Amino acid sequence: MKRIGVLTGGGDAPGLNAVIRAVVKTAMHDYGCEVIGIKNGFDGFLLPSGASLLTTADVRGILPRGGTILGSANRGNPFARKITKDGREEIIDVSGEVVHAINALKLDALIVIGGDGTLRIAHEMYLCGIPVVGVPKTIDNDIHGTEISFGFDTALNIATEAIDRLHTTAESHQRAMVVELMGRDAGFITLHSGVAGGADVILIPEIPFRWEAVAQKLRDRKAHGDLFSILAVSEGAHPIDGAATYNRPGDQISVPRLGGIGQKLGEYLETSGIETRVTVLGHVQRGGTPSAFDRWLATRYGSAAVRVAMQRHFDRMVTLISGHITDMPLMDAIAIPKRVDPLGDAVQTARGIGIAFGDEINH
Ligand code: F6P
């Protein structure tokens, strides 16, 4: 009997459990395989009881559940692990131990569900002889190799609902409402939810903005009788002459944590005489039940990952291209990050219906 391992790495995203469920069901039903669930990403290989058999009973009822039943680890990179020794922090490479633990489990394949960081680790593991297959996960939708990563649709729906809710209170008080949304250096959540929710201003990392152009848009709206405004702002948005805003610096292990641009913009608008309130949606975008679309996509990815593993096509990632699930080399999938095309039809559509991106030069 063959054995497949499965782990979830990096930040969680709605739909992780749907992938795990599809892996277990497809592996057992179609191939008679055993599935081993690894806890807390690659860290699980170093834990005393970090690997355990997953049966259909274990995955029953998890389809609508957010999070991951396996747990995840944001800093779980076996090639650069932070430890504290004699009161001092050190970065060490424990990949040898992880490879040893994987080999001891006699896995025929390891399905790694993660974003670009986790998938890069998966590729490095492959170079150490581990038969990996990747599944693209991230609410940011910034993985180049696939049209859509699971998790994005749910985050988009949550962000859109937030914008809808802000509309009614903005209108009541005739205020500007800034909502800061996730996405790291990619503006997909903000652009799509901003258009879907009818925002008046959308600020995304791919289109640097000018403070004055944003304030002018709101003044113009007021002059035309539109007394309130909604501004959807990516956490990675930044002005033309300035850097992105971080609320925590990075280190050798962690990337810097974005956050604070919404507040800065709110303060700027207030000093420009525009009454403004700021909402930071944060991890609400990642929590809770996945949308039907994400469950559907996650299930297709999970099943496909097992098929790819059984064909022994390793160092590959399952992907959605033109509506079909296929697979491609892992490194090709993540070599360059996916970003909003500032000249693409989505931005053009938004501009066409009067949404400002803060880069307008005619003010
Ligand atoms: O990559 C997903 C994401 O939610 C980003 O949109 C956000 O910047 C980041 O993760 C937050 O990470 P953490 O879970 O470490 O706060």
Per-residue model confidence (pLDDT) at position 89: 86
What's the gap in Å between 344 CA and the centre of ligand 1? 25
| Chain segment 285-339, per-residue pLDDT in tens | 999 999 999 999 999 999 999 999 999 999 999 999 999 999 999 999 999 999 9
Expressed in angstroms, the distance from the first to the final Cα of the chain is 69
Predicted TM-score of the model (pTM) = 0.96
Reported as a single tens digit per residue, the pLDDT across 67-123 is: 999 999 887 899 998 888 889 889 999 999 999 999 999 999 999 999 999 999 999
| pLDDT tier for residue 362 given thresholds of 50, 70 and 90 | low
Pocket lining for ligand 1, CB < 6 angstroms = 11, 74, 115, 138-140, 182-184, 235, 258, 286
Q: Ligand 1, residue 184: give the atom nearest the CA.
A: 8
Cα–Cα distance for residue pair 214/200, rounded to 1 Å: 10
Pocket test for ligand 1, best of 143, 182, 258 (most atoms within 8 A of CB): 182
Give the position, in ligand 1's atom list, of the atom nearest the Cα of 142: 1
Beta carbons within 8 Å of 63's beta carbon, 6+ residues apart: 17, 18, 21, 295, 299
What single-letter amino acid sits at 137?
K
Question: Which protein residue has the closest C-alpha to ligand 1 atom 8?
Answer: 184
Q: Which atom of ligand 1 is least distant from the CA of 115?
A: 1
Q: What residues contact residue 248 under an 8 Å CB cut-off, 6+ apart? A: 256, 257, 259
Domain ranges of the chain: 3-150+290-321, 153-287+341-352
Q: In this structure, which residue's CA is closest to atom 14 in ligand 1?
A: 11
For residue 286, the CA-to-ligand 1 centroid distance in Å is: 9
Average pLDDT, the chain: 96
- Quote the ligand 1 centre to 91 CA distance (angstroms): 22
Q: Tell me if 339 sits within 8 A of 206, measured CB to CB.
A: yes
CA 9 / ligand 1 centre spacing (Å): 12
153-287+341-352 and 3-150+290-321 share a CATH fold: yes
Q: How far is the CA of 140 from the centre of ligand 1 (A)?
A: 8
Interatomic CA distance for residues 227 and 223, integer angstroms:
8
Q: Measured from the CA of 254, which atom of ligand 1 is nearest? A: 15
CATH of segment(s) 3-150+290-321: 3.40.50.450
| Ligand 1 atom nearest to CA at 283 | 4
Q: How does DSSP classify residue 209?
A: B
Residue 11 alpha carbon to ligand 1 centre in Å: 6
Residue with CA nearest ligand 1 atom 12: 11
Q: Which of 12, 116, 140, 294 is catalytic?
A: 140
pLDDT, position 73: 86
**153-287+341-352 adopts what CATH topology?**
Rossmann fold (3.40.50)
pLDDT at 156: 98
**% of the chain exceeding 90 in pLDDT:** 93
- At 151-210, the pLDDT tens digits run 999 999 999 999 999 999 999 999 999 999 999 999 999 999 999 999 999 999 999 999
Answer yes or no: 140 catalytic: yes
